[in-house]
Structure 1
């Protein structure tokens, strides 16, 4: 693969305008070091200087520009963001470089993805100059760095491939966030707001119904045992402590020397210094540092229920905390946090639901980790030329000299095109059929090869789901069965391991994207709401299923029937 210096593929690499900014000013936004957040441009982190004219028009950011941090801490040096879809004037300010691509040689987002790699970060090390509080590199040294430059077609393919995996990662994260919101929604449905206590539950101080243990004052001097040492950064907020995230372990002698205590399994750990009210339940004995307070629930309290109650009482915590340099709650404040006391049976019911959702969440987090590993693997291999990109589609209109498509004098038969693309005969017959009795005019297999028809296909699928399930509840398995049995659509899944062997664009999990966007209101054709149905307690009395789904569910026990279900949002009642 050919390598080129940045100076040869960027028309301009420069610093921004030196403009004094103030918190009480308005006008056109001006970029700052902190404007780049998670490799995106965050317009809530910009400055202002009462600039309303086009005085700094030469410094306006344009689509395709790349911002790069060249003065920062060593960890954040080289952070980048690409300018996309801007609809306002943004002034490029000092302490961020802008790199303007020569678009005849390099596609802007290709270079952006390369700048995210560890390989590029390593290339910055020799040119980095360190001072007491920050590090930097100069433009002339940056221009000398060489990056791999494949053909323009392959640059576009690489971008398409990485964008697809990146989008899947983002949707997985959104799905996990939705599960968190589902647990909170279930809590509010069952108990109401524990602070306002509109349901009138008995209320008292948590310390009367839970014991507590205060960590030792001394930090252990060594870690040679097998009992986990828990610090605030190891907590999983509103979840169970993950032992795999803990790296330090104590022996009994080391615990005794530090005058610490072993916190029993089933305890609640809560931050009491700095960021207050981060809570986890621990399923194993552990030792906590000074910034954590622990509770051991008595018979009147369930630990998972109590964890959520405490988390929703943060306003009280900050009101009562001592404030010197950071907020701090002592043992008395921690034990006098007010808590509602609904019947323990109801608490246990909530804990059971939360645990089942957390199990699903753990599975989703494992899938997310797989996709993140896939991204890292693919992003490394594509820039080394180790992946066959020939089957990855790209938009040829983005080429510097778009490919001219020859016109044929005689019209091409649509079905001949399908057959040349090795579409199944079954798919071709569906396309030929104008009277598809199962609800789809076009075959899914054929649509996979016609990207311009993709949205239309999604609309047909969405309409069919709405019509079939109507006001019934359903889960992912039921949708898959419907697509398979009623519409003859085969939904293929690919494990991250399979994708690492053959990470092509079309291997993306489109079904997951279709459902997840329906839950986040990003799906134009379908909007769903998710609920947790507990068949043992019948927490949704009016729940209904299609006859086929009901027949399938009747063969399962109550525990197997419990889980996350969807229903189509009613447009007349849902905002």
Structure 2
């Protein structure tokens, strides 16, 4: 594709799209979505299995991240040959979530040929663009733009914990249609940004894998040890100890004060209000001032490499869903303990079947590998460097996401045109 040239549009017309007032270039067509498709339908209603028995078929969760995830498909067997051919996805097909929660209604993903064979399952609509009228990636991004404008929430039929959009509503949805060549150029720009975001995603995943490998090594073998000993939880460096968590931390659970959402609404302010997994609100007062280690009591994630613990510094308030701990001076380090707890599988310590809970009695008994304090600090320093790398990459991804959102608004409404 030749180099793109942008220019500002001057002449607009107003289009009403289900309550949304859009200004688009006068020369653009406005058509029904159904008129730009060769096919719009629901999928096969065969009973699915998750055992890998048969042919892969799409499910609602297949597109939960707005891309087709081959690891989130179902499988069907005993399918008729004619249905296999009829319901097999083609490159450029778009899957649309028309039955979902309000939060997820209208999610989309485009089929790009992976997996090589994928059948269209029920509870996702298939949109097959008429390529002589509309570029598939232009349509994909237009639908995503509409979702950010809450159009699909507005037109959906609401029920308890669920919303739905019928095919007639979707077919009648008005869409702006630039000349096909301009659609292709718009798609090219947005695909370029998507590829940049995907590259950052891959870099984040790689950095997280490296960090996990380092955690495995540093939190079990330490730094530079040559002599090891057998303990109740495996071989560890000779200088290390196996201790109960309660022996190396101070516990401040008695100072926790939960506040309801209504109470917090009356106390808006600058201080973090913390729960099991992080900051959930900001209020006008605080209980703690300093550096503390917060460990989920309930509502957290307790498996290996899951964030059950986090550090809070400064002035903040904590509800009763997180234990409040502080490393004992000269004995342990908050940051080392955070990494050690997040590396561990804490599930043997939790109680409850429906709502899991790490109560204080069991929390006190958690067995921790304890290196000398200086080594704890060195281990924490190494792992925190990788946290910084990961956070920088996540910040870059957020910047790219914001940039794409702004560019989508400019290009998909024609405020900025492409020659």
Q: TM-score, normalised by structure 1?
A: 0.60
Residues 51 and 361 (structure 1 numbering): CA distance in 2 closer, same or farther, change over 3 Å?
same
Distance 2:374 2:277 in 1: 33
Alignment coverage as a number of residue pairs? 369
Q: CA offset at residue 186 of structure 1? A: 3.7
Q: CA offset at residue 45 of structure 1? A: 2.3
Pairing of 1:186-205 with structure 2 (within 5 A): 186-192=214-220, 196-200=234-238, 201-205=240-244
Q: CA offset at residue 55 of structure 1? A: 4.2
Residues 93 and 149 (structure 1 numbering): CA distance in 2 closer, same or farther, change over 3 Å?
same
Work out whether 1:365 is the aligned partner of 2:391. Answer: no
Q: TM-score, normalised by structure 2?
A: 0.80
Pairing of 1:426-441 with structure 2 (within 5 A): none
Distance 1:118 1:193 in 2: 52
Residues 217 and 5 (structure 1 numbering): CA distance in 2 closer, same or farther, change over 3 Å?
same
Distance 1:120 1:268 in 2: 37
Which residue is equivalent to 1:248?
Answer: 282
Contact 1:271–1:279 at 8 Å: present in 2 too? Answer: yes
Secondary structure of 2:72's partner? coil
The one of 264, 268, 273 equivalent to 1:229 is 273
Work out whether 1:152 is the aligned partner of 2:180. Answer: yes
Contact 1:28–1:51 at 8 Å: present in 2 too? Answer: no
Higher relative contact order (CA 8 A, sep 6+): 2
Work out whether 1:263 is the aligned partner of 2:301. Answer: no
Give unmatched runs, 5+ long, in structure 1.
236-245, 253-261, 391-575
Q: CA offset at residue 36 of structure 1? A: 1.2
Distance 1:8 1:184 in 2: 50
Residues 18 and 358 (structure 1 numbering): CA distance in 2 closer, same or farther, change over 3 Å?
closer
The one of 36, 59, 74 equivalent to 1:47 is 74
Q: Deviations over 1:155-193 (max 9, x none)?
A: 221122111111212222333344444444444444436
Secondary structure of 1:111's partner? helix
Which residue is equivalent to 2:410?
Answer: 381
Q: CA offset at residue 375 of structure 1? A: 0.8
Q: CA offset at residue 352 of structure 1? A: 2.9
Q: Deviations over 1:362-411 (max 9, x none)?
A: 44333332211111111111101123433xxxxxxxxxxxxxxxxxxxxx
The one of 32, 36, 59 equivalent to 2:87 is 59
Distance 2:55 2:178 in 1: 38
Which residue is equivalent to 1:35?
Answer: 62
Pairing of 1:352-501 with structure 2 (within 5 A): 352-390=381-419
The one of 320, 323, 335 equivalent to 1:293 is 323
Distance 1:120 1:263 in 2: 38
Which residue is equivalent to 1:422?
Answer: none
Work out whether 1:122 is the aligned partner of 2:162. Answer: no
Residues 320 and 61 (structure 1 numbering): CA distance in 2 closer, same or farther, change over 3 Å?
same
Pairing of 1:472-551 with structure 2 (within 5 A): none
Q: CA offset at residue 145 of structure 1? A: 0.9
Q: CA offset at residue 250 of structure 1? A: 4.1
Secondary structure of 1:35's partner? helix
Distance 1:55 1:45 in 2: 25
Contact 1:78–1:121 at 8 Å: present in 2 too? Answer: no
Residues 224 and 139 (structure 1 numbering): CA distance in 2 closer, same or farther, change over 3 Å?
closer
Q: Deviations over 1:84-128 (max 9, x none)?
A: 123543221221111111111111121011111146753334431
Residues 310 and 387 (structure 1 numbering): CA distance in 2 closer, same or farther, change over 3 Å?
same
Distance 1:89 1:132 in 2: 35
Residues 311 and 355 (structure 1 numbering): CA distance in 2 closer, same or farther, change over 3 Å?
closer
Work out whether 1:98 is the aligned partner of 2:137. Answer: no
Which residue is equivalent to 1:2?
Answer: 29
Work out whether 1:207 is the aligned partner of 2:207. Answer: no
Q: CA offset at residue 129 of structure 1? A: 1.2
Distance 2:121 2:394 in 1: 38
Higher helix share: 1
Distance 2:115 2:257 in 1: 55
Which residue is equivalent to 2:46?
Answer: 19
Q: CA offset at residue 207 of structure 1? A: 1.1
Residues 87 and 326 (structure 1 numbering): CA distance in 2 closer, same or farther, change over 3 Å?
closer
The one of 312, 315, 328 equivalent to 2:343 is 312
